[in-house]
Each structure stands twice: as structure tokens, then as C-alpha cells.
Chains A and B, each alone.
Chain A
Amino acid sequence: MSFDEVYKKHYKELRLLSRRLNISSEKGEDLIQETFLRFYLELEKNVEIVNPRAWLYKVFLNLFKTQVNSEKRVIQNDGEPEGLADNVYDLQAEYINNEKQNIVIESLKRLPLKDSEILLLYNNGFSYAEMAEIVEINPNSVGTTIVRAIERLKGILKNHYNEMFEQN
């Protein structure tokens, strides 16, 4: 698969991952471009990347962690979903949608970073082996990490958003 095909195929996935990790759109775009740049340079060096998707996620998350270590996470408070400016939404539906999006972002933010990562990768259909490779953990502990992360997420949702979920 050529570079352009990989870029077109996985760009939106990384954009979604970026949004869920509460990275501002500008910085998220920079991280995505940096990720693809590294991928491009690897291809230029004729390095064979067997699983480009897992490779891109790993590099993106590593870049993100490096950024988190150097500065606090940027809180995106505008509440408006990106790229939807041209879409016409029912106001009430948009309000509910924005609220849910904020809940997702806020809940993931309350989790330890490793838990957020593993849940997002799990939701994106990665195998245990791929997840272990991406977040650099023992493959045998992936199941435990997923269970623990789900339990923590449930605790957060129950403590902070139970009322809102009951309403919807």
C-alpha cells in the first residue's frame, strides 16, 4: 500500500483518537502530521512496516505522551464537534450530542493515560497482541488492563454522570 493510501485510510482514525484524548485540533493536527511524516521517512528508508495501522497508533501515542510530559493537556472547552460547521443539526440533538462528547472526553481524561489508550485501542478493534505492541505492555496483561480500565470507567461514569445518563 502506498503512502498516500495509508494516509487517506488512517487519517480520520487518528483525528478521532486525537479528539478523544482531548488534544486541541491544532495540536492534534500537528501530531498527526508528525506521525505520518515519520511513517513517510521510514518508507523512504525502505523500512518494511508490516502493520501500518498499529505502527501509526504507536507513534501517535508516543508523541502524545511526550507532549503530555512536557506540558499539561490542553482542555478543549469550546464543546463544538470539529468539522461540523456546515451540517445542519437540530439544536436539541446538537446539545445532547455535545454533552455526550464532553462526557466521553472528560471521562477519558479522568482515567490514567494507559487506561484511556487501551480502551480506545480496544474500541478500535485492535487484537491483544497489537495493543501490547502499541502501548508496550506484556501481551499476557492486556486482558487484565482492559478489565481494570472498564471498571475504572464505569466508576467514573457512575460517580460523575449517572444523573445525566439516567435522563438520556
Chain B
Amino acid sequence: MKCLSRTEIQEFLDKEPEPSQMARISDHIEKCESCKALYLQAVADRAMLNSFLDHEKSDIDDLPIPEFRYPKSSRKKTLFLSGIMLLAAAIFTGFILLLHYEKRPKSEKIPEAEILMQEFYDGKDLNKMWHDKSQIFILEDEKGNVIESIITY
């Protein structure tokens, strides 16, 4: 195997070659002094780079994460969907109330002829109602004789 380039050494350091290739490169570096020197330099360079860049990483841990600014269109969409859901809920509630109303017990209608025979209907005193609402018209002649009396109610 011929000597490795700096790029090949870098790729080896970063474990990019295939496993079989990795083993061959490793063997070569063990045996070749110049490639071993290049490899050690690459290791040192990578350590320098990481040390150079990593010291800031701890700073960033303390940073608060702000809320994501969701797009307005999405907010409109959410509002629209909320409105639709609210409307659906209102319709559903109305439907349930309507069903409940329909199911309540109803008083049967009493024929008019029977009403006249009752004293009370729907909690009301029919005699009193009759007296309160009825009017009596009495038609008399010049002498005061009653010609006709009319009761309206």
C-alpha cells in the first residue's frame, strides 16, 4: 500500500472508509513513520478545532428557548377551525334540547263540549272566567219590557 495523503488520513480519522479499507489503512499507519506522523498531526488538529469551538457550547445551555412564532395564516386557520367547532357544538346542544322538549309529556286536548262541562281547566276556574269575560246585553221596548237578553263570552 502506498503512502496516504492528508485527506485520506482525515477520512480515516473520521471513520469514513469502508471497514475493510479501514483495517488496511490502520495497518499501514502502524508500519509507516511518515503516515503515522501525518495521522498524529490530524488527531492534534481535530482536538485543536474541537477545543477551539467547544468552549462556547456550555454558554448556550443557559439560553432560554423563545416561543415559536407560528404563521398568521395558521393562526387564522386555527381560529376558523375553532369557530366551526363552536358552531357545531352549539347546533348539537340545540338539537339535544329540541329532542328533550319534544319528549316532555303533553296535556291532551279536551274537546270544547267537554270543557263546558268542567269547572276547572288548565288550573283555571272556568266559572270565574265566564263571569269575568261575559257581557249581558238586555234589549227593552219603550215600556221597559225585556225583548231579548244576550250573553256574550
Contact = CB atoms under 8 A, between A and B. Distances in A.
A84 B14 contact: no
Contacts of B59: 81-84, 101
B68 A33 contact: yes
Q: Is the interface of B mostly helix, strand, loop or mixed?
A: helix
B76 to A, nearest CB: 13
Contacts of A12: 60-61, 63, 65
A147 to B, nearest CB: 5
Interface of B: 6-8, 10-11, 14, 16, 45-46, 48-50, 52-57, 59-66, 68-71, 74
A143 B53 contact: no
Given A33-B69, A36-B68, A122 B60 contact: no
A104 interface: yes
Contacts of B14: 128, 143, 146
Contact of B62 (A19, A84, A107, A119): A84
A158 to B, nearest CB: 11
Given A15-B63, A123-B50, A128 B57 contact: no
A16 interface: yes
B70 to A, nearest CB: 7
Given A83-B60, A104-B53, 11 more contacts: A11-B65, A37-B69, A40-B70, A40-B74, A84-B62, A101-B56, A104-B52, A107-B52, A123-B53, A127-B16, A150-B45
Given A104-B56, A119-B53, A128-B14, A44 B63 contact: no
Interface residues of A, number: 42
A84 B48 CA distance: 25
Nearest to A7: B68
20 contacts: A3-B68, A7-B65, A20-B53, A29-B66, A37-B69, A40-B70, A40-B74, A81-B56, A83-B60, A100-B55, A101-B59, A104-B52, A104-B56, A119-B53, A123-B53, A123-B54, A128-B14, A143-B8, A143-B10, A147-B10
Given A19-B56, A100-B55, A143-B16, A122 B49 contact: yes
Contacts of A54: none
